[in-house]
């Protein structure tokens, strides 16, 4: 895909991986729309990179519908979706409640599924190639203590991504799972404060440029899955 003038939607992009990815893509000449739940933070990010801001919760079906209405209206179509929005809860198995699963799955699975379905429909209607990138986690490759809710959501996302690949490949629509290990971001912090960079953790820039490289591959090829690990997390 040529990024110049490509129309790209990045969810959960007011902070962290989403924000840096949107910035890198906009810098490469893409026309970018970003979503996030916190209006002030989202508009600040959009202004900084010249993106379209759509205040929306990826876990709410009505917000998903409104997001694609805005993408159609303001971008005139879509060439790529980066499903980045995600949340986590980390509790031991005896403390986890139904509500914990519901809250995380609503964003990490249900919201991603609705976003992906709308994007695929748009790509088909345009009779053009398209690309969906789902941001997973290495937690979706190997579970860990306290990860029943979050890790299982990322395992489910990996399986769902493989199903989409099987469905959409014949339509020249590429689907990729990008799975980072631990990245120094605001993930899991209620106040939205970014963590300080750490020499043993990945940076948002590394993930953003990995996503950019996946998108830039010539349309004749695709990368089904890309895991990005910190070289020495200890």
Given a cut of 80, whether residue 189 has pLDDT beyond it is no
Per-residue model confidence (pLDDT) at position 193: 53
Whether 158 is covered by a domain: the verdict is yes
Whether 233 is covered by a domain: the verdict is no
Given a cut of 80, whether residue 173 has pLDDT beyond it is yes
User: What is d(CA 114, CA 84) in angstroms, rounded to the nearest whole number?
Assistant: 13
Whether 131 is covered by a domain: the verdict is yes
pLDDT band at 162 (very low <50, low <70, confident <90, very high): very high
DSSP 218: -
Considering the candidates 105, 110, 150, 209, report the single residue annotated as catalytic.
150
User: What is d(CA 177, CA 134) in angstroms, rounded to the nearest whole number?
Assistant: 5
pLDDT band at 185 (very low <50, low <70, confident <90, very high): low
| Count of domains observed in the chain | 1
Given a cut of 70, whether residue 121 has pLDDT beyond it is yes
Say which CATH number the domain at 109 has: 3.40.50.720
Does the predicted TM-score (pTM) go above 0.75?
Answer: yes
Whether 179 is covered by a domain: the verdict is yes
Active-site residue 209, yes or no?
A: no
Per-residue model confidence (pLDDT) at position 231: 79
Whether 2 is covered by a domain: the verdict is no
Whether 18 is covered by a domain: the verdict is yes
Element (H, E) at 201: none
pLDDT digits (tens, 9 = 90+) for 44-71: 999 999 999 999 999 999 999 999 999 9
Task: Answer for the pair 158, 107: CB distance below 8 angstroms, yes or no.
Answer: no
Q: What number is the average pLDDT over the span 146-174? A: 97
Return phi, psi of residue 193, to 5°.
-80, 130
Whether 234 is covered by a domain: the verdict is no
DSSP 90: -
pLDDT band at 82 (very low <50, low <70, confident <90, very high): very high
Beta strand segments in 71-218, E:
80-83, 130-135, 173-180
pLDDT band at 8 (very low <50, low <70, confident <90, very high): very high
Residue length, the chain? 234
Given a cut of 60, whether residue 190 has pLDDT beyond it is no
Whether 39 is covered by a domain: the verdict is yes
Average pLDDT, the chain: 93
Owning domain of residue 35:
7-228
Token pair in block for residue 164 = 């989409």
More confident residue, 76 or 189: 76
Q: What number is the average pLDDT over the span 197-223? A: 90
User: What is d(CA 202, CA 130) in angstroms, rounded to the nearest whole number?
Assistant: 28
Q: Which residues contact 169 (CB under 8 A, 6 or more apart)?
A: 175, 222
């Amino acid at each position: 895909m040529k990024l110049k003038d490509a129309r790209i939607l990045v969810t959960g992009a007011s902070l962290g991986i989403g924000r840096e990815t949107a910035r890198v893509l906009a810098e490469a000449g893409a026309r970018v729309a970003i979503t996030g739940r916190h209006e002030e933070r989202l508009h600040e990010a959009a202004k900084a990179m010249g993106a379209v801001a759509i205040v929306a919760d990826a876990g709410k079906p009505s917000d998903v519908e409104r997001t694609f209405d805005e993408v159609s209206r303001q971008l005139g179509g879509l060439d790529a979706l980066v499903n980045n929005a995600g949340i986590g809860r980390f509790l031991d198995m005896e403390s986890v409640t139904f509500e914990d699963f519901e809250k995380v799955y609503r964003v990490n699975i249900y919201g991603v599924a609705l976003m992906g379905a709308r994007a695929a429909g748009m790509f088909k209607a345009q009779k053009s190639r398209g690309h969906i990138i789902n941001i997973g986690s290495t937690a979706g490759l190997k579970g860990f203590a306290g990860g029943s809710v979050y890790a299982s959501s990322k395992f489910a996302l990996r399986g769902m991504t493989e199903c989409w690949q099987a469905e959409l490949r014949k339509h020249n629509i590429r689907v990729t799972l990008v799975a980072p290990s631990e990245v120094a971001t605001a993930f899991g912090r209620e106040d939205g404060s970014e963590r300080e960079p750490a020499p043993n953790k990945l940076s948002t820039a590394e993930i953003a440029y990995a996503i950019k490289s996946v998108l830039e591959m010539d349309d004749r090829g695709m990368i089904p899955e890309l895991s990005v690990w910190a070289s020495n997390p200890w």
